[in-house]
Amino acid sequence: MPQQSRSTAARRRGRQRHAKGHGVTGGRLKLLTILVVVIGAGLGLAGATQTWFTVTLTHAAGHPAPVVVTGSDASPALTALSLAALALALAFAIAGRVARIIVGVIGVILGATVIFASAGDPKTSLGVRNAVSTATGITGDSSVHALIATVAASAWPTLALIGGILIALGSLAALVTGGRWPGGSRRYNAVRFEEADGKASATSKRPEERPGDSAVDDWDELTRGDDPTAD
C-alpha cells in the first residue's frame, strides 16, 4: 500500500507538471502572437510616413526636380490598416476562445490587405501617378506614365509588405494555437464580491447599532408623558 500511494502521488505530480508546462507554453504563444502582430503594425505605420519612391521625370515634363512619394501617398489606406492591426493585437489580448477565431480571420484578411497595398509596380501605382500629376499639372494615365523616366524605390515598401506578412502570420497562429492560450482568471472578482458582500452586511447592521437611536426613543417617551428611567 505505501508503494502504491507513492506511485499515485508521483503520477499526480507528473500530471501537475505537465499541465503547468502546457499553461506556460500557451502563455508564451499568446505573447509571441501579439508581439508579431504589433511589430507588423508598427512596420506599416512607420512605412506610411517614410519615402517610398523617388521619381525622375523626362525633359518633356518641365520639372527637373525629382518627385518624392511617401508611403501615405503611394498607399493611402496603409495608415488606417496599420492602426486596425494594433487594435487587432489588443483584441487578441482580451478575447475569449470563440472571439479569437473571429478576430483571427479578420486579422488574416487585414494582413493580406496590407500586403496588397504595399506590393505592385511603382510606375503603375496610383499614388505615383497622382504625385507626378500634382507636380507637373498634367493629367491622364498615359500622359503621366510617359513623363516618368525612372523610379527609385526605398526599402520601406518591402518593410511594409513584411509588416503585412507578420500580421497575417500572427493572426493565423492565433487561429491554430488560440485553444492553448490561457484564459482570464476570476480569482480577483471573487475577492471583490466577498468584500462587497461584507461591506453590505456591515452596513445593514449599522442602523441597529447607532447610539443615537436610544436617545430618540427616550425623547419620544418624554413627549408622551412617560418616564424612561422608571423601569
Dihedral angle, C-alpha 155, 158, 162, 164, nearest 10 °: 120
44-79 pLDDT, tens digit each: 999 999 999 999 998 887 888 899 999 999 998 999
Which domains are seen in the chain, by residue range? 27-184 (1.20.140), 189-223 (no CATH)
Which of 46-55, 121-130, 176-185, 201-210 is predicted least confidently? Answer: 201-210
Strand 67-70 versus strand 148-153 pairing type: unpaired
The SS3 assignment for 152 reads: strand
C-alpha–C-alpha distance, residues 128 and 93, integer Å: 38
The percent of residues in the chain predicted with pLDDT above 70, rounded, is 68
| pLDDT value for 159 | 96
Q: What is the pLDDT of residues 89-98, one digit of tens each?
A: 999 999 888 9
Residue 23 is predicted with a pLDDT of: 45
* Residue 153 DSSP symbol: E
pLDDT tens per residue across span 17-39: 554 544 448 889 899 999 999 99
- pLDDT band at residue 127 using 50, 70 and 90 as cut-offs: confident
Question: DSSP letter string over 43-78?
Answer: HHHHHHTSEEEEEEEPGGGT--SPEEEEHHHH-TTH
The pLDDT value given to residue 188: 37
Which segments of 95-155 does DSSP mark as H helices, in order?
97-118, 126-136, 141-147
Give me the mean pLDDT over the 214-220 stretch. Answer: 57
Highest mean pLDDT among 13-17, 58-62, 112-116: 112-116
The pLDDT, as a whole number, for residue 85 is 95
pLDDT exceeding 90 applies to what percent of the chain? 41
Q: How far is CA 151 from CA 51, 65, 135, 158, 162, in A?
A: 12, 13, 15, 15, 21
- Contact in structure between 175 and 48 (CB atoms under 8 Å): no
Mean pLDDT value of segment 80-89: 95
Q: What are phi and psi of 56, to 5 degrees?
A: -100, 130
Residues 6+ apart with CB under 8 A from 190: none
pLDDT of residue 226: 61
pLDDT value at residue 12: 56
